[in-house]
Amino acid sequence: MTDTYAPRAAVRARPAAGSAVLDVVVPVYNEETDLGPCVRRLHAHLTAHFPYPFRITVADNASVDGTPEVARALADELPEVGVLRLDEKGRGRALRAAWSASPAPVLAYMDVDLSTDLAALLPLVAPLISGHSDLAIGTRLARTSRVVRGAKREVISRGYNLLLRGTLAARFSDAQCGFKAIRADVAAGLLPLVRDTGWFFDTELLVLAQRAGLRIHEVPVDWVDDPDSRVDIVATALADLRGIGRLGRALATGALPLAQLRAQLGRGPLPAPPARVPAGLPRQLVRFAAVGVASTLAYLLLFLLARGPLGAQPANLLALLLTAVANTAANRRLTFGVSGRRHAGRHHLQGLLAFALGLALTSGSLALLHAATRPSRSLELVVLVAANLAATALRFLLLRLAMHHQLQAPV
């Protein structure tokens, strides 16, 4: 990887004559009825709305009905349509074979039922053509997606994606939507490492891409469930669980060459930010302010609860001490993105220094206020809020200095 930011090269806007920019693979098994309408509709859409040369590859997963004959007839009828015949079943196997053999720089696939609205196809592949992203997926779980399907499939889909987040730390939102695209150069690096040949193929590919530091673009889609779907939900779920276990073990044991993947496929680091704007500062300020608001509210509540039995100064000391410890822990994790025990003692010592300064400011303010007048509780609170604002600014500077070793990259 280079030391300066180097974005991926865009696909040539004017490809060589006859060469396709996009290859859309349609994996099928015994789809003699739906294959013809699907391919004709897809071909018509690409002809009307896709501005580059394209091809459509029908990947036949060892069908035993009339699917091969329908596919060959479509290839004879439409010059942009090709057929790939496989002797074994498996959607992952079909995609690996079709993508590996394709000369197109951008590869995609979609299910034969065309549940996903084709209007999302150009937004799906455009970031790959431009070089902005490496993979793209349609998501049915975005807020702006429009989905028509039964409660059972909705629960299964959301449960599966939550499981991926909890077990494999997946950050993409919808692993199962049959509407995805990938750059051919990225596919060449990832496909040899993807072991699954069935429905878990998508998930494994996406997890590897994420761990390699690749950019995954998500497109909200309109999606209507196919009531005639032949997917065996129970068998697929069991296979997915086995895949999660296998992939999780490989990641935990270091069996996958993630460092080499990052070096080969990952994007170079971003250029250094301007000296006056440290890395991550705007986001840190927002998070620090949110933690500060919560801490201040907790401090005021504790002060009011302890003010009666203890008096103003002891109540201030107790409330400030408790919230200072909690504030340091929250900012360490949420604001500066530091986890684990490493340097935790140093960070909390720095937080206690900020606590001492805050105590001096607030106690001094209370002392001056009581020396000048007999204040009401509301006036005490106003003065304490003002003193805490000053202490908060000092706390941010001290904590940021303490955790500077963690801030070489944006959090």
More confident site: 206 or 362: 206
- Provide the pLDDT confidence category of residue 405 given band limits of 50, 70 and 90: very low
Which position among 23, 60, 174, 202 bears the catalytic label? 202
Confidence at residue 53, expressed as pLDDT on a 0 to 100 scale:
96
- Provide the pLDDT confidence category of residue 188 given band limits of 50, 70 and 90: very high
More confident site: 216 or 393: 216
Mind listing the pLDDT tens digit for each residue in 167-179?
A: 999 999 999 899 9
Mind listing the pLDDT tens digit for each residue in 48-99?
A: 999 999 999 999 999 999 999 999 999 999 999 999 999 999 999 999 999 9
Average pLDDT over residues 155-178: 91
More confident site: 210 or 11: 210
404 pLDDT more than 70: no
More confident site: 40 or 5: 40
More confident site: 361 or 201: 201
202 annotated active-site:
yes
Type of residue at 396: F
Mind listing the pLDDT tens digit for each residue in 362-375?
A: 778 878 878 888 77
- Provide the pLDDT confidence category of residue 409 given band limits of 50, 70 and 90: very low
Confidence at residue 384, expressed as pLDDT on a 0 to 100 scale:
75
Least Cα distance to 217 among 178, 255, 174 occurs for: 174
- Provide the pLDDT confidence category of residue 156 given band limits of 50, 70 and 90: confident
Q: Are strands 216-220 and 135-139 parallel, antiparallel or unpaired?
A: parallel
Confidence at residue 345, expressed as pLDDT on a 0 to 100 scale:
66
Three-class SS of the chain: CCCCCCCCCCCCCCCCCCCCCEEEEEEECCCCCCHHHHHHHHHHHHHHHCCCCEEEEEEEECCCCCHHHHHHHHHHHCCCEEEEEECCCCHHHHHHHHHHHCCCCEEEEECCCCCECHHHHHHHHHHHHHCCCCEEEEECCCCCCEEECCHHHHHHHHHHHHHHHHHHCCCCCCCCCCEEEEEHHHHHHHHHHCCCCCCCHHHHHHHHHHHCCCCEEEEECEEECCCCCCCCHHHHHHHHHHHHHHHHHHHHHCCCCHHHHHHHHCCCCCCCCCCCCCCCHHHHHHHHHHHHHHHHHHHHHHHHHHHHHHCHHHHHHHHHHHHHHHHHHHHHHHHCCCCCCCCHHHHHHHHHHHHHHHHHHHHHHHHHHHHHCCCCHHHHHHHHHHHHHHHHHHHHHHHHHHCHHHCCCCC
Confidence at residue 311, expressed as pLDDT on a 0 to 100 scale:
84
The Cα–Cα gap between 161 and 141 comes to 10
| Bridge partners, residue 4, by sequence | none
Confidence at residue 410, expressed as pLDDT on a 0 to 100 scale:
41
Q: Which residues of 234-250 are buried (b: 16+ CB within 10 A; e: fewer)?
A: eebeeebeebbeebeeb
- Provide the pLDDT confidence category of residue 203 given band limits of 50, 70 and 90: very high
For the chain, the average pLDDT equals 85
Confidence at residue 30, expressed as pLDDT on a 0 to 100 scale:
95
The Cα–Cα gap between 122 and 120 comes to 6
Mind listing the pLDDT tens digit for each residue in 261-315?
A: 998 998 877 666 555 545 566 777 787 778 878 887 887 888 888 888 888 878 8
Pick the most confident of 207-211, 347-351, 370-374, 381-385.
207-211
